[in-house]
């Protein structure tokens, strides 16, 4: 399968010197909807991982990095929403956006080719690692970020402490063999939870956490595969007994699965995870429940939702970054296989 090249056209069009706009009307940024840390952190992950980044991509990395730095308060929490004029619309907190900010900062600290970016990201990630959140998903995002910090600075005590806290937060059992998932329903960005267990198990030498992460990821991949293609959990969630396929399906689910399969492939080398990543790429290219492409090669953007009879043709930041990061992961794995 040919994986599309990473085009930054739409991401550039959605970005300003302040940040990355959250929403779009078709391909036009919804400036009145402003910016958010959630998407800027995702943008930083994409640009930081880009091998041999162009000057434009490097500029975006700097914008996104300083957006996250400005969002953080002295205690490590983050504001999330920002108006077009740069003023903040909320108070600092430790919800999902805190976890995503740490994921973005940790990735920049570990992956950026720019030493100044790595240093700035590591300083702000270290502050954020002092915070704890009651949200399981926020904690899981933060755990992935903490693992990236350890790649940048092995032995970092703040990262190891957060991973230990995350291990306790993610230890909930399933309700039996037919439902091993630690929640009563599948909700959103589901593959994040097994990925967090994978990094926790790896960093802390916890074989049980590592094996549980692999088991949950395998179960999730099986549950979301139908007739040879991905059939993603819809925005309303899903549990046993509910009909499938469900709509609308969101690109964030696919990118979360791509991230987890890539992590599992890197840890185990098992072909099942490479196949899972291929299914994620194929979903964006039209191998899905509606048989419709979710990526727009003309713009470099991706559509906001998959429905039974069509797509939501708005190309928001979350959807676009989900497609591009999935392609980026697949291209990286393919390049490593050629070495």
CATH number of the domain enclosing 263? 1.50.10.20
End residue of a domain, out of 169, 195, 211: 169
Residues 69 and 196 in one domain: no
Residues 101 and 178 in one domain: no
Counting residues of the chain whose pLDDT is more than 70, the rounded percentage is: 99
Of the chain, the end-to-end C-alpha distance in Å amounts to 19
Question: Is 16 a member of any domain?
Answer: no
Residues 116 and 174 in one domain: no
Q: What is the pLDDT along the chain (339 residues), one digit of tens a residue?
A: 799 999 999 999 999 999 999 999 999 999 999 999 999 999 999 999 999 999 999 999 999 999 999 999 999 999 999 999 999 999 999 999 999 999 999 999 999 999 999 999 999 999 999 999 999 999 999 999 999 999 999 999 999 999 999 999 998 777 677 899 999 999 999 999 999 999 999 999 999 999 999 999 999 999 999 999 999 999 999 999 999 999 999 999 999 999 999 999 999 999 999 999 999 999 999 999 999 999 999 999 999 999 998 999 999 999 999 999 999 999 999 998 876
Question: Is 26 a member of any domain?
Answer: no
Question: Rounded to an integer, what distance in angstroms lies between the CA atom of residue 251 and that of residue 28?
Answer: 19
Q: What residue numbers bound the domain in which 317 lies? A: 170-339
Question: Is 23 a member of any domain?
Answer: no
Residues 125 and 193 in one domain: no
Residues 188 and 153 in one domain: no
Question: Rounded to an integer, what distance in angstroms lies between the CA atom of residue 247 and that of residue 116?
Answer: 43
Residues 264 and 188 in one domain: yes
Residues 161 and 309 in one domain: no
Which burial class, exposed, middle or buried, applies to 328 when counting CB atoms under 10 A from its CB (0-12, 13-18, 19+)? buried
Cα separations (Å) of 282 from 49, 178, 255, 261, 270? 21, 28, 12, 14, 19
Question: Is 3 a member of any domain?
Answer: no
End residue of a domain, out of 119, 144, 169: 169
Question: Is 14 a member of any domain?
Answer: no
CA angle 286, 141, 167 (to 5 degrees): 125
Question: Is 22 a member of any domain?
Answer: no
Question: Is 13 a member of any domain?
Answer: no
Which burial class, exposed, middle or buried, applies to 4 when counting CB atoms under 10 A from its CB (0-12, 13-18, 19+)? middle
Residues 132 and 78 in one domain: yes
- CB distance 140 to 165 below 8 Å: no
Residues 91 and 178 in one domain: no
End residue of a domain, out of 142, 169, 196: 169
Would you state the pLDDT for residue 1?
A: 79
Would you state the pLDDT for residue 171?
A: 83
Residues 128 and 206 in one domain: no
Mark residue 126 as left, alpha or beta (left: phi above 0; alpha: psi -120 to 50; beta: remaining).
alpha
Would you state the pLDDT for residue 172?
A: 76
Question: Is 19 a member of any domain?
Answer: no
Residues 181 and 311 in one domain: yes
Residues 229 and 328 in one domain: yes
| Structural domains counted in the chain | 2
């Amino acid at each position: 399968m040919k994986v599309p090249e990473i085009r930054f056209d739409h991401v550039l069009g959605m970005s300003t010197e302040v940040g990355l706009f959250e929403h779009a009307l078709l391909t036009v940024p919804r400036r009145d909807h402003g910016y958010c840390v959630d998407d800027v952190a995702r943008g930083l992950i994409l640009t930081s991982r880009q091998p041999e980044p162009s000057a434009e991509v490097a500029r975006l990395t700097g914008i996104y990095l300083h957006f996250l730095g400005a969002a953080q308060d002295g205690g490590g929490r983050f504001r999330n929403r920002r108006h077009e004029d740069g003023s903040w619309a909320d108070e600092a907190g430790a919800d999902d956006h805190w976890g995503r900010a740490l994921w973005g900062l940790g990735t920049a600290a570990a992956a950026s080719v720019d030493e100044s970016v790595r240093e700035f990201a590591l300083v702000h990630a270290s502050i954020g690692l002092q915070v704890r959140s009651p949200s399981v998903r926020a904690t899981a995002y933060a755990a992935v970020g903490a693992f990236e910090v350890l790649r940048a600075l092995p032995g970092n005590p703040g990262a190891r402490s957060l991973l230990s806290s995350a291990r306790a937060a993610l230890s909930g059992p399933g309700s039996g063999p037919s439902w091993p998932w630690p929640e009563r329903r599948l909700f959103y960005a589901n593959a994040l939870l097994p990925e967090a267990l994978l990094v926790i198990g790896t960093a802390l030498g916890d074989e049980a956490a590592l094996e549980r992460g692999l088991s949950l990821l395998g179960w999730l991949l099986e549950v979301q595969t139908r007739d040879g293609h991905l059939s993603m959990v819809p925005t309303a969630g899903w549990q046993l007994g509910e009909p499938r396929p469900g709509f609308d399906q969101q690109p964030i689910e696919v990118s979360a699965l791509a991230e987890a399969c890539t992590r599992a492939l890197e840890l185990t080398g098992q072909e099942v995870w490479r196949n899972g990543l291929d299914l994620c790429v194929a979903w964006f290219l039209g191998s899905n429940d509606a048989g419709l492409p979710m990526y727009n090669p003309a713009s470099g953007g991706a559509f906001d939702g998959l429905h039974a009879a069509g797509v939501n043709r708005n190309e928001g930041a979350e959807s676009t970054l989900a497609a591009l990061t999935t392609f980026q992961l697949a291209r990286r794995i393919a390049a490593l296989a050629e070495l």
